[in-house]
Amino acid sequence: MDNRPIGLLDSGVGGLTVVKKIIAKMPHEATVFIGDNAHIPYGDKSKAEIIALTKQSVNFLISKNVKLIIFACNTATAVAMKAIQKEIEPQIIGVIQSGAVAAANATKNKNVAVVATKMTVGLHAYQKEIQARDPEITVNEIAAPQIVPLIENNAGHQAYMAALKKILLPINNLGVDTLVLGCTHYPIIRSEFAQCVKPAVQIIDPADQVAQYTYNIMKRDQMFTDSSAKGKHEYYTTGDVKMFDELGKIVLQDEKFSAQDL
């Protein structure tokens, strides 16, 4: 048994979509989340910048004595996870591998689309992981750098729809049957994504698979807490606490949500 919290990090509020799934799957576990909103978006930065910023968040989580760390950020997973895992003891779990497994299992016509940040698309992170499982799957990658800032600013339904209609138009002409939300911010506006693609398209949120994978790892390594009480959850942001709280209440559907400034 291990009563230490689970650590999670993201460039912003998007990682809370993963926190939500972790809490639902393991309600007795405690969590510590850090959103590096002061430096969002990561997807437009250099690899060196992304690694340096991610290391800062990792070091903070280690200082909170977490038992493992979930990179609830696709860009950080693609760029920094392997390098940082070599330097630290706590196991790191990323989101891309889980999303790739879910997509490969879901597609029936072997034609998948991935919407993600510019960096994640540029590295072909999902394409490599999906085709490693099935080389016959066509992976159409689309960069959508404008979406994260819209979500972080709580731009609203009309702004999301206007942007997504332009971004997702090619997908509707490609015959894909599966769409991967390749950024943890995107599930926050999942309903808008669904309205902009054909009804038959399956939408994959990697967070579902991440929660299950984390559960499996913790069961295997006997890392579950022995507490029968609801887990305590701490939230930190390097950015605007008020805006973070507003979005946190929406994502976690918790009016008592409150983050701390870092």
Give binding residues as ranges: 10-11, 42-43, 74-75, 184-185
Mean pLDDT over all residues of the chain? 97
Is the domain covering 6-94+208-261 a CATH 3.40.50.1860 domain? Answer: yes
Domain with CATH 3.40.50.1860 in the chain: 6-94+208-261, 96-206
Question: What is the model's pLDDT at position 237?
Answer: 99
The model carries a pTM of: 0.94
Give the tens place of pLDDT for each residue, 131-140: 999 999 999 9
Please tell me whether the peptide bond between 41 and the residue prior to it is cis, using omega within 30 degrees of 0.
yes
Token duo for residue 87: 């330097």
Catalytic residues: 73, 183
Question: What is the model's pLDDT at position 171?
Answer: 86
Beta strands in 178-226 (DSSP E): 178-182, 202-204
The highest-level CATH class for domain 96-206 is: alpha beta
Give the tens place of pLDDT for each residue, 12-47: 999 999 999 999 999 999 999 999 999 999 999 999
Residue 205 and residue 196: Cα distance in Å, rounded? Answer: 16
